[in-house]
Amino acid sequence: MDYPERFDVIVIGGGHAGTEAALAAARMGSATLLLTHNIETLGQMSCNPAIGGIGKSHLVKEVDALGGAMALATDKGGIQFRVLNARKGPAVRATRAQADRVLYKAAIRETLENQPNLAIFQQAVDDLIVEGDTVKGVVTNIGLKFRSRTVVLTAGTFLGGKIHIGLDNHSGGRAGDQPSIALAHRLRELPFRVDRLKTGTPPRIDAKTVDFSGLEQQWGDSPAPVMSYLGNRDMHPEQVCCWITHTNERSHEIIRGGLDRSPMYTGVIEGIGPRYCPSIEDKVHRFADKISHQVFIEPEGLNTHELYPNGISTSLPFDVQLELVRSIKGFENAHMTRPGYAIEYDFFEPRDLKSSLETKFIHGLFFAGQINGTTGYEEAAAQGLLAGANAALLAQEREAWCPRRDEAYIGVLVDDLITMGTKEPYRMFTSRAEYRLLLREDNADQRLTEKGRELGLVDDQRWQVFCEKQEAITRERQRLASTWVQAGSAAAETLSAKIDKPLSHEYNLLELMKRPELGYADVAAVIENGETIDPAVAEQLEISVKYAGYIERQKDEIERLRRHENTALPVDFDYSVIEGLSNEIKQKLSDTRPQTLAQASRIPGVTPAAVSLLLITLKKRG
């Protein structure tokens, strides 16, 4: 049967990519349908109950600055918040929150259910309707046909999903969920390059059976940071403690003894796993001389006794898992509530995508999230928002929005994927961005909210909060610039004591704040009857003044490179006939089919000389 209504955008999958994609498209006014296996699992965290971390919170805040749901849901569901790298420079500071799974999921579902233009339907999608080279809709497993102008696929770990515990394996999308087999087969018939990746999760532990007495406690920061630009501490539920324990030599012996029944070490698993989230058997095997590994014990929520032992992800057989767990301090009598497991799944070569996340082969079809070779909720959410927004733009016959590497971590993420592809699950780090000082987590709103408003992603409430903050920054800058400190005055004495030398002449406070010894709080303190300023406003002002030189230099460099960013390379460019290019470079260019000269220059192995040759060839073509 054909469903009576037609949609602008259909999103397949209600994970982190799918929910942000659906919300973004609907916020932009497109008639949107979110189709997912199970409404109860909307926004479900498949693995660790935590959001953010280094590089990842940058993405979360960008999603938030563009009106997305992840950061606010974290503020409503977060049971422990911390700022990582707090003592380092602002570019690498990051916020991480431990979340209550149930509260987080509820916050996402509430947002989805209250979003105008968005319909949700629980059903597995088995097929895509493709006519010529254009997608026209989807078919569900009971034969329902939904028609649409665009489709965003965000099937996560579900395509051809295979779960491994020891040498036993079975099909599954994640523990307790059906896989997507029919859709995986259908996608393999289309011209996409498909490969396999794997990821894993630890067993869960019943807190009632843990002896916490000898374990190190770890509390969150006080006052707790917030994740969303619209968030505040009053939204946070009760805050709880985490603990730290360690594996030991006996744990490692148990693991080594079980390797002959490990799916990873017996070749049963073919897919490559996440480098930065290795399984405990991988850590013990690779770092054989380490006698202990840290295990962070994180509560799964406020109303459950389940614990997530972060650091012992494993796919060893159940009996080995149990022995391993019970060898760890505090877990001597632990009861496991769920076994750990690994999952293998299909992912698509991301070089087959445009920078809008539309596929190169099927017009109107977008891919986002884990299926593009990434790992992590934050990476998925960021891609979801971008794909959803671009699907809506395409349906509205507007130009795609593709953030550049100097504008957003979302731009870095997508450009890395579509330029270099990936052979292992890709996760974000601040080190992946060359313009780190510009792409801070504290200024994601300054970088993106205006663009979000223009696209239709940012609602009136967020826009008003943003405009008020901008005005406050400008006002405070002016106030500091027009407040003068005379040499010899009481204010000058106070400040001289901090910089350890007298002020020789008159200065305004903005100039004084450039000095390394003086922060915003120091200079603001000398203003008589000064008003109290929002800490976020003070932070923006302080960073922009202190790092002005570096920031300007990065902006100059970006300007120089922008020319190449605007030089388009035709999709049908025949690299094989360009004289002077090595066969290796021809092959790399043909595999990636870069959209711009700048993207071509970022492909590893493509030399500056090759870029010049490309430019000359382009000019000759006219």
CA–CA distance from 327 to each of 255, 321, 489 (Å)? 11, 10, 67
Binding-site residues from annotation for NAD(+): 273-287
Q: Of residues 10, 73, 92, 125, which one binds ligand FAD by CB under 6 A?
A: 125
Can residue 370 be called a binding residue for ligand FAD (CB under 6 A)? yes
Q: Of residues 273, 376, 403, 456, which one binds ligand FAD by CB under 6 A?
A: 376
Can residue 16 be called a binding residue for ligand FAD (CB under 6 A)? yes
- Contact partners, residue 71, CB within 8 Å, separation at least 6: 60, 61, 63, 64, 227, 228, 229, 231
Instruction: Give me the numbers of helices (H) and strands (E) for the chain, helices first please.
Output: 20, 22
Can residue 419 be called a binding residue for ligand FAD (CB under 6 A)? no
With both helix axes pointing from N to C terminus, report the angle between 377-395 and 16-27 in degrees, rounded to the nearest 10.
30
Q: Of residues 27, 37, 453, 462, which one binds ligand FAD by CB under 6 A?
A: 37
x/- binding map, residues 167-206, to ligand FAD, per CB under 6 A? ------xx--x--x--x---------------xxx-----
- 28/459 Cα distance (integer angstroms): 10
Q: In terms of CB distance, is 41 or 422 closer to ligand FAD?
A: 41
Q: Half-sphere exposure (CA, 13 Å, Cβ side) for 389?
A: 27
Say how many C-beta atoms besides its own lie within 10 A of residue 468's C-beta.
12
Can residue 47 be called a binding residue for ligand FAD (CB under 6 A)? yes
Q: Across-strand partners of 135? A: 130
Q: In terms of CB distance, is 264 or 380 closer to ligand FAD?
A: 380
- 487/484 Cα distance (integer angstroms): 10
Say how many C-beta atoms besides its own lie within 10 A of residue 219's C-beta.
11
Q: Of residues 9, 28, 33, 35, which one binds ligand FAD by CB under 6 A?
A: 35
Return the SS3 of 433: coil
Can residue 375 be called a binding residue for ligand FAD (CB under 6 A)? yes
Can residue 124 be called a binding residue for ligand FAD (CB under 6 A)? yes
AA letter at 455: L
Q: Of residues 8, 14, 100, 611, which one binds ligand FAD by CB under 6 A?
A: 14
- 225/243 Cα distance (integer angstroms): 20
Can residue 46 be called a binding residue for ligand FAD (CB under 6 A)? yes
Token pair listed for 604: 């590893």
CA–CA distance from 558 to each of 161, 416, 435 (Å)? 42, 17, 9
Stretch that binds ligand FAD, among 12-20, 111-119, 583-591, 599-607 (CB under 6 A): 12-20
In angstroms, give the least distance from the CB of 392 to ligand FAD: 18
Residues 289-348 that bind ligand FAD (CB under 6 A): 343
Continuous H helices in 231-312: 249-258, 280-286
Can residue 15 be called a binding residue for ligand FAD (CB under 6 A)? yes
AA letter at 613: L
Stretch that binds ligand FAD, among 112-120, 155-163, 186-194, 355-363 (CB under 6 A): 155-163
In angstroms, give the least distance from the CB of 545 to ligand FAD: 36
Binding-site residues from annotation for FAD: 13-18, 125, 180, 370
Stretch that binds ligand FAD, among 35-43, 111-119, 352-360, 602-610 (CB under 6 A): 35-43
For the chain, how big is the Rg over CA atoms in Å?
A: 26
Say how many C-beta atoms besides its own lie within 10 A of residue 119's C-beta.
17
Residues 578-617 that bind ligand FAD (CB under 6 A): none
Binding site for ligand FAD (CB under 6 A): 12-18, 35-38, 41, 46-47, 124-125, 154-158, 173-174, 177, 180, 183, 199-201, 277, 343, 369-370, 375-377, 380
